[in-house]
């Protein structure tokens, strides 16, 4: 049987970056094909070439055995290739129907297209179990349903091959399961699905075959049934990696941070952090799990002094800091903060690495007396931190933007950990970071814990929370749903993340 | 993965591209000169000769450079804080009030005391006129571009009123103050005469050294002080500034005040060094030229001094040209300057993609 899609010898450079090196790939019709690789391995580039966003320097694309030229996403759609992006391309104030029709209006008047779409949507919903109210406004739908609309959009335009780019990043485990069921139905009806992800578990759960990319090259393609998580991980990074973090028992000491009945309301008056209480002790890592957008970011902001609590109290080392909370005061008191969003907060892209490496700590007298900023001291300090944290390249004068995600994160961690804080607040320490750096970062966090420091960790990666934390709190809709210890069952945590409390009822 | 943004060798970025833009601007300006029936090469020759062909030409060039350096630095400091200060003109104009108040009322003091006081008053009045929009932006969210433009108009009206009704001596027809004799900065011709040198007449005076000092000061402030670090952080990434605990409202007001003080120093040159009296519109558009100077100089003090010299050349050469070729009027000179601003500022990145294609070194 001819494959649905064949990519032959695809080669693509962006300036000095060789994003795809002579990549070949065949995707069987009616299958779910996973593509995995670290960040920067070239999977998104490859799919962008297939979808017409980029143009390959060399190579050929065949759809259903026939060579085709795909110069734009319109060409791709015309050849039956549809894509569901990581960040949805939906118009929020529009209804589901209007979004589905977008780009396929067909005439100056929209009425006939909408009527046709309504009929087609019913048909699709019936065939693929893709139920969505066509008249609902996109902005009011949960993300899981928004994603469904993206899939409907592609199918409405006649997609036979569906590319999904990191589709589960924003979903609860439950929603992800639903998505997988839908993808299974699509396959059974003869559609072809390409799934880009860096989550090995998803690959194992639903794909038929899996291709691994590493540094722009295609390392290999396996039948999913005949491979294992360990083998795929090794193919991705080129060596065996520790998937579990090795750590000893925690020896928690006295309480460092105590949060009492903390509430934070946004401008509309919605409680984004809702009556939250917990504590963090010396020598332990407390993890806050939850699907992104359930108040974890706001909670971090309030504790770090960036936002002010609406009500409630924060006690740090016996002192109530609610009214005093500004980030500089907290840093002086011994609170370090690795922000969730390193690109927008953790560093300044246009600054030299050495300048980013003092962000938030530039008031220190060791970096220059009074008014003066001693550039030599700044650079020297940065050089030391870079050596200590194995930042590559170890060049304090290189622009912050030029480091890879993992190395940027190491610069930030080095900055915060080297200040010897009593409490470290960490948000998404390994988001968008390659596996090698993840391992390193996890080890440093454990080491800090073992020095008797208190760590508050927020992550949307449940695996990360489970492997690092000594205690796990689950947040949902601004509330703490419950506390579990590190050995908690994954399914139970997943239920809490979805807002289902076991003890309730 | 997204393509990394193309980076060019520094000499291309800050050397070749500006020169290329300048060349294109001159070519287009040349076409305009052809259209009105003059020989562009001849016109260029007259301009260059007018600015560079004599001591007098050079001295005027540097006199303009002094003004443009102050206003260029003013725009640059605000720009590093992420603020677009369009109000340099009004700030410089209003600063003249400070210079005149000190200069006219403290004449009994010896010049080594009254001149520094007048300089401080100029900076202070300029700073105040920029500080108010800064506070409005920081505390009330009024957009700095709008408020500084409005403050230009307010300054213009206020100064007309004050000069006409307060500073104009009784019985004098011209709308200007009496001569400032105490805070009188001698120009180089007058200084030369003191030691027996005969120099041609020139408006150039030691304020140019103040301009160079200010350029060094701005460099030091931005890259060697903690305040400068905070200013640049707020400008480059306000989110990161909030994370770092930098008080953004304070940075906005402080950097606007510094910006206004720099613009205000223009009145040291004009009021104390050249005109020796407070008169209407003495800033003469230098506040707006400062925007182009800062853009062209990439908001770096060295670039700003060089760009200020280039605009000094255009101003001086242009004046000579309009004398020599009546067909090319003052307005034509403004057109040519406008073209330079267009290509240097607004179309700054027009040639970047080609340069990127030319200078990329493929690796691995």
What is the reported pLDDT for A239?
56
Token pair 């770090």 is found at A304
Per the structure, the count of domains in chain B is 1
Give the number of A-B residue pairs with CB atoms closer than 8 Å: 98
Judged against a pLDDT cut of 70, whether residue B348 lies above it is answered with: no
Question: Is A412 in contact with A214 (CB distance < 8 Å)?
Answer: no
Residue B326 lies in a domain: no
Which residues, in sequence order, are CB contacts of B170 under 8 Å at separation 6+? Answer: none
In the predicted model, what is the mean pLDDT of residues B72-80?
Answer: 97
pLDDT at position B363, please?
Answer: 39
For tokens 């303009």, what's the residue? B64
* Interchain contact, A40 vs B361, CB within 8 Å: no
The answer as to whether B316 is a domain residue is: no
Partner-chain contact B4 A15, CB within 8 Å: yes
The interface predicted TM-score of the complex, written ipTM, equals 0.83
pLDDT band at B306 (very low <50, low <70, confident <90, very high): very high
Which residue in B224, B245, B363 is closest to A375 by CB distance? B224
Chain B residues close to A19, C-beta within 8 Å:
1, 3
Interchain contact, B4 vs A17, CB within 8 Å: yes
Q: What is the per-residue pLDDT for A221? A: 92
Phi/psi for A93 (5° steps) reads -75, -10
* Greatest Cα-to-Cα distance within chain A, rounded to the nearest angstrom: 74
pLDDT in tens, A262-302: 999 988 777 889 999 999 999 999 999 987 778 899 999 99
Q: How many CA atoms lie within 13 A of B246 on its CB side?
A: 31
Nearest to A414, CA basis, from A454, A345, A359, A472: A359
**Rounded-to-integer distance, Cα A469 and Cα A458, Å:** 10
Inter-chain touch A359–B240, beta carbons under 8 Å: yes
Comparing CA positions, the residue from B318, B290, B354 lying closest to residue B73 is: B290
Q: Answer whether B237 sits within 8 Å of A40, measured CB to CB.
A: no
For an interface test with A, the pick among B240, B355, B361, B364 (most A C-beta atoms closer than 10 Å) comes out as B240
DSSP letter string, A94-120: SBHHHHHHTT---SS-SHHHHHHHHHH
**Full residue range of the structural domain in which residue B190 is found:** 59-305
Best of B10, B226, B300, B359 to disrupt the A interface (most A CBs within 10 Å) is B226
The minimum CA-CA distance between B359 and chain A, rounded to whole Å, is: 10
Output phi, psi for A130, to 5 deg: -110, 70
Question: Encoding tokens for residue B21?
Answer: 């833009």
DSSP 8-state secondary structure symbol assigned to residue A147: H
Residue B240 forms contact with A (CB below 8 Å): yes
Is any Cβ of chain A less than 8 angstroms from the Cβ of B110?
no
Considering only CB atoms, A42 lies closest to which of B1, B246, B356, namely: B1
Residue B345 lies in a domain: no
Evaluate whether residue B264 is within a structural domain: yes
Per DSSP, the three-state class of A49 is helix
- The first and second tokens of residue A4, run together, are 């649905």
Question: Residues of A with CB below 8 A from B10's CB?
Answer: none
Which of A33-42, B115-124, B279-288 is most confident? B115-124
A46 in Cβ contact with A10 (< 8 Å): yes
Q: What stretch(es) of chain A map to CATH 3.40.50.300? A: 5-237, 244-334+421-505
Closest CA to A159 of A217, A84, A65, A97: A84
Confidence of residue B345 (pLDDT cuts 50, 70, 90): low
Q: pLDDT at residue B213 above 90?
A: yes
Report if residue B142 sits inside a domain: yes
Which residues on neighbouring strands pair with residue A315, listed in sequence order? A258, A320
On whether residue B105 sits in a domain, the answer given is yes
Contact B362 A16 (CB under 8 A): yes
| The predicted structure's pLDDT at residue A480 | 93
Distance in angstroms (rounded) separating the CA atoms of residues B258 and B250: 12
Distance of CA B9 to the CA centre of its chain: 28
Comparing alpha-carbon positions, the chain A residue that sits nearest to B360 is A15
User: Please, which residues 318-357 of chain B have a Cβ atom closer than 8 Å to chain A?
Assistant: 356
**C-beta atoms of A15 and B237 within 8 A:** no
CB contact under 8 Å between B3 and A17, yes or no, is yes
B364 and chain A: CB distance < 8 Å anywhere?
yes
Q: B73 is written with which tokens?
A: 């630095």
Question: Please, what sign has the CA dihedral across residues B268, B75, B305, B315?
Answer: negative
CB atoms < 10 A from the CB of B148, how many? 30
Q: Does B225 touch chain A (CB under 8 A)?
A: yes
| Chain A contact present for B141, CB below 8 A | no
Give the burial class of B198: count Cβ atoms within 10 A of its Cβ; 0-12 exposed, 13-18 middle, 19 or more buried: exposed
Contact A371 B362 (CB under 8 A): no
Percent helix, strand and coil across chain B, each to the nearest 5: 75, 0, 25
Choose, out of A353, A356, A360, the residue to mutate when testing the contact with B (most B CBs < 10 Å).
A360
Residue B206 pLDDT: 95
Residue B254: CATH number of its domain: 1.10.3470
Q: What's the whole-number mean pLDDT along residues B180-201? A: 89
Looking at the complex, does the CB of residue B4 fall below 8 Å from at least one CB of chain A?
yes
Kindly give, in sequence order, each residue whose CB lies less than 8 Å from that of residue A317, ignoring residues fewer than 6 positions away.
A256, A333, A334, A422
Minimal-distance CA residue of chain B relative to A327: B245
Residue B28 inside a domain? The answer is no
pLDDT-based confidence at residue B1 (cuts at 50, 70, 90) = very low
* Token pair listed for A86: 């990581």
pLDDT at B6 over 50: no
> How close B6 gets to chain A, by Cα (Å)?
7
Please spell the DSSP secondary structure of B228-283, one letter per residue: HHHHHHHHH-HHHHHHTT--HHHHHHHHHHHHHHHHHTHHIIIIIIII-S-BTTTT
The number of beta carbons lying within 10 Å of the beta carbon of residue A302 is 25
Residue with tokens 């060295």: B302
Indicate whether B266 pLDDT > 50. yes
Q: Please check whether residue B224 touches A, CB under 8 A.
A: yes
**8 Å CB contact between A434 and A40:** yes
Question: Inter-chain contact A15–B227, Cβ cutoff 8 Å?
Answer: no
Closest by CA position to A171, among listed A162, A161, A163, A181: A181
A216 Cα to chain B: minimum distance (Å): 10
pLDDT at A360: 94
Please provide the DSSP assignment of B26-78 as one string. Answer: HHHHHHHHHHTT--HHHHHHHHHHHHHSSHHHHHHHHHHHHHHHHHHHHHHHH
Q: What is the DSSP letter of A457?
A: E
CATH 3.40.50.300 fits domain A244-334+421-505: yes
Determine the CATH number of domain A5-237: 3.40.50.300
pLDDT for B100 equals: 95
C-alpha span between B71 and B287 (Å, rounded): 5
CB contact under 8 A, A344 and B240: yes
Asked whether the CA dihedral B6, A413, B229, A298 is positive or negative, the reply is: positive
Does the pLDDT value for residue B359 go beyond 70?
A: no
Can you tell me the distance from the alpha carbon of A47 to that of B283, in angstroms, rounded to the nearest whole number? Answer: 58
Ranges A98-102, A480-484, B92-96, B309-313: which has the least confidence? A98-102
Closest-CA residue of B relative to A404 is B4
Low-confidence ranges of chain A (pLDDT < 50): 240, 242, 504-505
What is the C-alpha to C-alpha distance for residues B235 and B81, in angstroms, rounded to an integer? 4
> Does residue B360 have a pLDDT over 60?
no
> By the 8 A CB rule, do B242 and A326 touch?
no
Residue B37 lies inside a defined structural domain of this protein: no
| Tokens found for residue B98 | 């400070």
pLDDT at res. A139: 83
Does residue A399 sit in helix, strand or coil?
A: strand
Give Cα separations from A328 to A6, A238, A428, B195 (angstroms): 56, 42, 22, 57
The predicted-structure confidence for B128-187, as pLDDT tens digits, reads as follows: 999 999 999 999 999 999 999 999 999 999 999 999 999 999 888 888 999 998 889 999
Beta pairing, strands A255-265 & A66-68: unpaired
A186 Cα to chain B: minimum distance (Å) = 27
pLDDT at A504: 42
- Would you say residue B293 has pLDDT above 80? yes
B3 pLDDT more than 70:
no
Residue of chain A whose Cα is closest to the Cα of B239:
A345
- pLDDT for res B21: 81
Q: Do B224 and A305 touch (CB under 8 A)?
A: no
Whole-number pLDDT of residue A288: 95
Q: How high is the pLDDT of residue A410?
A: 94
More confident residue, A170 or B69: B69
């Amino acid at each position: 049987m001819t494959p649905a899609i064949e990519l032959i010898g695809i080669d693509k450079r962006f300036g000095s970056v060789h994003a795809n090196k002579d990549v070949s790939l065949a995707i069987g019709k009616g299958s779910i094909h996973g593509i995995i690789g670290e960040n920067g391995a070239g999977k998104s580039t490859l799919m962008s070439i297939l979808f017409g966003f980029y143009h390959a320097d060399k190579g050929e694309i065949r759809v259903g055995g026939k060579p085709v030229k795909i110069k734009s996403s319109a060409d791709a759609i015309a050849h039956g290739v549809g894509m569901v992006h990581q960040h949805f391309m939906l118009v929020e104030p529009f209804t589901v129907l209007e979004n589905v029709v977008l780009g396929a209006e067909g005439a100056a008047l929209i009425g006939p297209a909408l009527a046709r779409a309504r009929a087609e949507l019913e048909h699709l919903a019936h065939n693929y179990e893709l139920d969505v109210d066509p008249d609902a406004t996109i902005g009011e739908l949960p993300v899981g349903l928004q994603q469904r609309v993206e899939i409907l959009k592609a199918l409405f335009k006649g997609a036979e091959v569906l590319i999904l780019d990191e589709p589960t990043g924003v979903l609860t485990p439950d929603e992800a399961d639903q998505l997988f069921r839908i993808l299974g139905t699509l396959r059974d009806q003869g559609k072809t699905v390409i799934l880009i992800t860096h989550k090995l578990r998803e690959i194992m759960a639903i794909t038929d075959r899996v291709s691994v990319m590493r540094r722009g090259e295609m390392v290999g393609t396996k039948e999913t049934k005949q491979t294992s998580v360990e083998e795929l991980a090794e193919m991705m990074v080129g060596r065996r990696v520790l998937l579990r973090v090795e750590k000893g028992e925690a020896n928690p000491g006295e309480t460092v941070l105590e949060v009492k009945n903390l509430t934070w309301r946004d401008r509309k008056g919605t409680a984004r952090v809702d009556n939250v209480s917990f504590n963090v002790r010396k020598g332990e890592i407390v993890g806050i799990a939850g699907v992104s957008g359930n108040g974890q970011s706001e909670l971090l902001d309030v504790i770090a002094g960036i936002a002010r609590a609406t009500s409630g109290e924060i006690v740090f080392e016996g002192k109530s800091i609610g009214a005093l909370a500004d980030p500089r005061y907290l840093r002086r008191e011994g609170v370090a903060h690795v922000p969730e969003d390193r690109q927008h907060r953790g560093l300044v892209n246009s600054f030299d690495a050495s300048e980013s490496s003092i962000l938030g700590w530039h008031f220190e007298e060791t970096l220059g007396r009074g008014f003066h900023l001693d550039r030599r001291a700044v650079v020297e300090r940065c050089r030391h931190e870079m050596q200590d944290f194995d930042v590559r390249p170890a060049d304090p004068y290189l622009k912050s933007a030029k480091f890879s995600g993992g190395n940027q994160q190491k610069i930030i961690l080095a900055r915060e950990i080297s200040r010897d804080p009593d409490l470290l607040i960490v948000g998404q320490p390994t988001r968008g970071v390659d596996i090698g750096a993840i391992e390193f970062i996890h080890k440093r966090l454990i080491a800090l814990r073992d020095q008797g420091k208190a760590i508050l960790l927020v992550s949307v990666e449940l695996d990360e929370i489970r492997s690092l934390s000594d205690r796990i709190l689950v947040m949902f809709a601004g509330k703490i749903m419950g506390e579990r210890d590190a050995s908690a069952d994954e399914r139970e945590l997943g239920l809490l993340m979805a807002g289902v409390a076991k003890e309730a009822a | 993965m997204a393509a990394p943004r193309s980076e060019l060798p520094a000499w291309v970025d800050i050397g070749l591209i500006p020169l290329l833009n300048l060349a294109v601007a001159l070519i287009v300006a040349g076409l305009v000169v052809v259209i009105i029936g003059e020989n562009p090469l001849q016109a260029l020759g007259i301009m260059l000769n007018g600015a560079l062909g004599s001591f007098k030409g050079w001295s005027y060039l540097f006199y303009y450079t002094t003004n443009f350096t102050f206003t260029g630095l003013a725009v640059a400091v605000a720009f590093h804080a992420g603020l677009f200060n369009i109000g340099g003109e009004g700030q410089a104009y209003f600063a003249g009030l400070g210079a005149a108040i000190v200069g006219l009322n403290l004449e009994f003091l010896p010049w080594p005391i009254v001149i520094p006081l007048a300089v401080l008053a100029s900076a202070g009045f300029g700073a105040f006129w920029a500080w108010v929009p800064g506070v409005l932006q920081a505390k009330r969210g009024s957009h700095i571009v709008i408020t500084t433009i409005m403050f230009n108009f307010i300054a213009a009206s206020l100064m007309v009123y004050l000069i006409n009704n307060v500073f104009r001596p009784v019985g004098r027809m011209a709308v200007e103050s009496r001569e400032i004799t105490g805070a009188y900065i001698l120009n180089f011709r007058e200084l030369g005469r003191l030691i027996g040198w005969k120099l041609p007449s020139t408006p150039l005076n030691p304020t140019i050294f103040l301009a160079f000092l200010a350029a060094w000061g701005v460099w030091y402030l931005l890259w060697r002080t903690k305040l400068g670090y905070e200013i640049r952080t707020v400008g480059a990434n306000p989110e990161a500034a909030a994370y770092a605990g930098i008080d953004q409202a304070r940075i906005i007001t402080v950097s606007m005040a510094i910006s206004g003080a720099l613009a205000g120093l223009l009145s040291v040159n004009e009021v104390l060094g050249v005109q020796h009296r407070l008169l209407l519109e003495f800033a003469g558009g230098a506040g707006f030229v400062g925007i182009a100077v800062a853009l062209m100089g990439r908001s770096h003090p060295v670039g700003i001094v060089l760009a200020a010299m280039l605009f000094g050349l255009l101003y001086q050469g242009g004046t000579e040209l309009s004398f020599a070729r009546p067909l090319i009027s003052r307005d034509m000179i403004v057109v040519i300057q406008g073209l330079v601003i267009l290509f240097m500022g607004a179309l700054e990145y027009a040639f970047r993609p080609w340069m990127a294609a030319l200078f990329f070194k493929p690796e691995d």
